[in-house]
Amino acid sequence: MNISLGEKIVQIRKELGFNMSEAADKLEIVKSNLSRYERNLISPSAEFFKRLLYVFHVNINWLLGGVGEMFLSEEEIEKLHIEEVLSMKEAQNLISSVKRIDMPKYFLTTIGVPVYTEDVVETIQELLPVVGEISAGEPIEIINNEPLDFVPFPYYRPNLNLDDFFVFRVNGMSMNPDIEHQDIVFIHKNTDWDSLNKKIVAIIISGELTIKKLDIRPDLQELHLIPINKNFGVIKVPIEEMRQISLLGELKAIRRVRK
């Protein structure tokens, strides 16, 4: 039976014998956030995963993919070379270096989104249709044709409803290096502007589709759609013209096929 990420976090805490306040103190996070993680109300950040790895020696393979034991072995812990202070980049590299067995290879981008580079071997997975292309550059016209492809549902969230996702193939380089041309992106459906502020989103502008970082700027009375690649410009939309824009949802995972 699949269990949610929040339920796994509860299991970790109880296995270590901590109540919620004690666990939050050791992880140096506020108790209310830990409670939200455990109840699956919000998605944990990359920083939270880093703390679980460093402080509690949680096996990230087990946490995200259900593979292996709950905690790292002594040998794996020794290989971590834990320091008191690690930059986010070092943390992401560390997480991606942890041994994983029969699990898709993945790494966390600087925006905290997992990138999968291969599928589980001999594992039955449900497939999602790639419904079309999404622009990483200037927005492109939406064309309703047959699916471009069918891809496995991201292994890291097997408990989520398949119907809650759009899947697109990226066309363009405005989100490099985190999102590459021809990547497959999994968009979790969400139309709540406030919850998606500062997130990477799929968005429709005047009937055309693009992927960008959303930045609502009430001080400027503008909505900014920001590329990661600094060679591309920011799309600025007056807030009074937001009716021309539709949110599809938030980027949750990336599938990358190595050439």
The residue extents of the domains of the chain are 5-103, 127-255
Q: Is the pLDDT of residue 86 over 50?
A: no
Residue scoring higher pLDDT (101 or 204): 204
Kindly report, residue by residue over 22-51, the tens digit of the pLDDT.
999 999 888 888 988 898 888 887 778 888
Q: What topology is assigned to 127-255 in CATH?
A: Umud Fragment, subunit A (2.10.109)
- pTM here is 0.57
Q: What is the pLDDT of residues 115-138, one digit of tens each?
A: 777 654 444 456 788 888 899 887
Q: Strand pairing partners for 257?
A: none
pLDDT per position as a tens digit, 45-71: 777 888 898 889 898 888 887 778 899
SS3 96: helix
State the average pLDDT over residues 216-229.
90
> What is the CATH superfamily name and number for domain 5-103?
lambda repressor-like DNA-binding domains (1.10.260.40)
Instruction: Give the C-alpha separation, 237 to 244, whole Å.
Output: 9
Question: In the predicted model, what is the mean pLDDT of residues 250-254?
Answer: 87
pLDDT for the residue 124: 45
Would you state the pLDDT for residue 102? 36
Closest by CA to 180, choosing from 172, 191, 189, is 172
**What's the mean pLDDT in 230-237?**
89
pLDDT-derived band at 101 (thresholds 50, 70, 90) equals very low
What pLDDT score was predicted for residue 105? 62
pLDDT at 12: 94
